[in-house]
Structure 1
């Protein structure tokens, strides 16, 4: 088989086709299918993954979305569950992309320490807000590795957790109170919304009600950002978008990945597909406010920007509570801003 055939197969795989779909395309064209060439294609993707896993990551991020997606994989004739840790970053120029992934046996604190520690070792250091679900103990890992960052718990995950413990008749009321939380304009309104949610849940699950109150400060981090961008920061929908792409391949392959090699290949394809989709759909609302967000970042981390950022500056008094930085905005003035392993069977 010539190089053109190999390039053709690589293109089919990177376009999101499963092996069965590749075989169907080849059969329709009267072209034979070669396992040997497909092995070479997998090795080329392995090389791409090594580059991806070893590249330097951006030091400064507006947002870091982290999550775990559980998938089924066939290993040693048994179908088992594996945890895929995912990190997606939005840089200060509002470019969104997958930063890293890690496949582990389970989701636990050791996994989170390893995964987030890996991001730090590769350069990530100054992050305005980290968005995650409420995995027990994750808040301590985040505060240790990113002591100056805000930590926002995902409200979408909160809804899912509470729906499980509430009777159906209470779900409309739940959504109404969640809307109050999302629309909070300040800390006082957020506290009132959290208290209201806790009171709704308490008769059905005192443990969930207490956990909600204990984590109340983690549901208000979005208030420290301009109102227009907050809805991008109080949910982990960005990770959900990537997860749905990976889930699609899992379903098309029969409900599980036939090998770890297959999982790695389609993780790479999911990363490429997601990055391409995000590039074609820029976060225009956040980009419109990128100048102010850079100023908040500079104030939080005491860093300066290059000459491209020297322009009319807005002065913020940055405090996480009780007010938000946008509420401290004053009149503009002229100033310079100072303030993976090899893929194996």
Structure 2
């Protein structure tokens, strides 16, 4: 199995755990891991796996009972295995108190980093006082997949999001003994109370119309209603998918991406005033003012050949970049760009730079999904304060 080195600041990680609402991710992870370990410990005690005939068997399984365990992050309920004669007792509870923080850190690390088995193995060995195989830890990690999948497939018909933000980024994944690029699709939404929520995640081979269409269809199947406005960059396939799947929805071109496209058509020197005049257009407080500043810009620089291509880009995409003016003024500053989604991408990229190459697509989905779940919990915790 491929081993991947993580360089994590455990002090910072511990601070994040103690100051964050990570109940959904970490508690579920801890329950899965501890239940699975106790199951393995019973197998070892019996000297026989389930339904296995063995002359060395010392006792028989006799179901489970529930027992609560209080952690520093709250109470969890475990499914404790027992034997017919009652002599088996998991070592977990007597050893757990001194390892509480270590396990919490380990679970967070496993969820957020998704693909590291070595560090989790070390913590479980400390906790349980015996070695465990890499395959055992890998199987535990895979048991976290349903948690992420349940979150990624949750219903979206409980709330209406009039404003959607869509973007894609590329990661490296090992597939069929080769390293390939894959596109990570993410969509977030904002409701009328300006609350943002991560709505969708998908990993596909390439960013294309077909992939965006399938992504949107999946969101609609989960109950997503057509929004008033979708904010994104100008990827042709994405634009086409928005038009086909969200009938009657307007498209807002991300002004940050758009201005960058304009700047790329300018010469490298003596353009400070030109850039200031472009920015002035997008500092307007009304659609009429924005159009006036645009025409003023074109009139001022129309005779300068070095600015001609920039003017062409501006004219071609200007109307699509000011669609936010059709929405209530109180939402304008939230609708001009995909910056909030870009910040999410940066968090993903920060982890991805450590990993470099994901061992498979599922591990990438697990990592990114868990990271997005953690982000949701952090935002929820901030709103409660």
TM-score normalized with structure 2 length: 0.63
Aligned to 1:177: 277
Q: Deviations over 1:144-169 (max 9, x none)?
A: 32233332111111233234333332
Aligned mates of 1:65, 1:106 — CA distance in 2: 19
1:129-140 matches, within 5 Å, as 129-140=229-240
Contact conserved, 2:110 with 2:141, CA < 8 A, in 1? no
Where do 5+ consecutive residues of structure 1 fail to align? 285-345
Aligned mates of 2:347, 2:118 — CA distance in 1: 17
TM-score normalized with structure 1 length: 0.70
Aligned to 2:151: 52
Q: Which has the larger radius of gyration?
A: 2
Q: Deviations over 1:60-86 (max 9, x none)?
A: 213211001111112222221111111
**1:190 partnered with 2:222:** no
Q: Deviations over 1:108-140 (max 9, x none)?
A: 111121112222222112412211001125334
Contact conserved, 2:167 with 2:233, CA < 8 A, in 1? yes
Aligned to 2:35: 3
Contact conserved, 2:161 with 2:190, CA < 8 A, in 1? yes
**1:64 partnered with 2:161:** no
Aligned to 1:308: none
Aligned to 1:276: 377
Where do 5+ consecutive residues of structure 2 fail to align? 1-32, 39-102
Aligned mates of 1:21, 1:52 — CA distance in 2: 26
1:1-345 matches, within 5 Å, as 2-3=34-35, 9-16=106-113, 19=116, 22=119, 26=123, 32=131, 34-58=133-157, 60-169=160-269, 172-173=272-273, 175-195=275-295, 203=305, 209-253=311-355, 255-282=356-383
Inter-CA distance 10–27: structure 2 relative to 1 (3 Å threshold): closer
Structure 1 position 15, deviation (Å): 4.7
Aligned mates of 1:145, 1:264 — CA distance in 2: 24
Aligned mates of 1:50, 1:71 — CA distance in 2: 20
Inter-CA distance 141–248: structure 2 relative to 1 (3 Å threshold): same
Aligned mates of 2:155, 2:257 — CA distance in 1: 31
Give me the CA root mean square deviation. Answer: 3.4
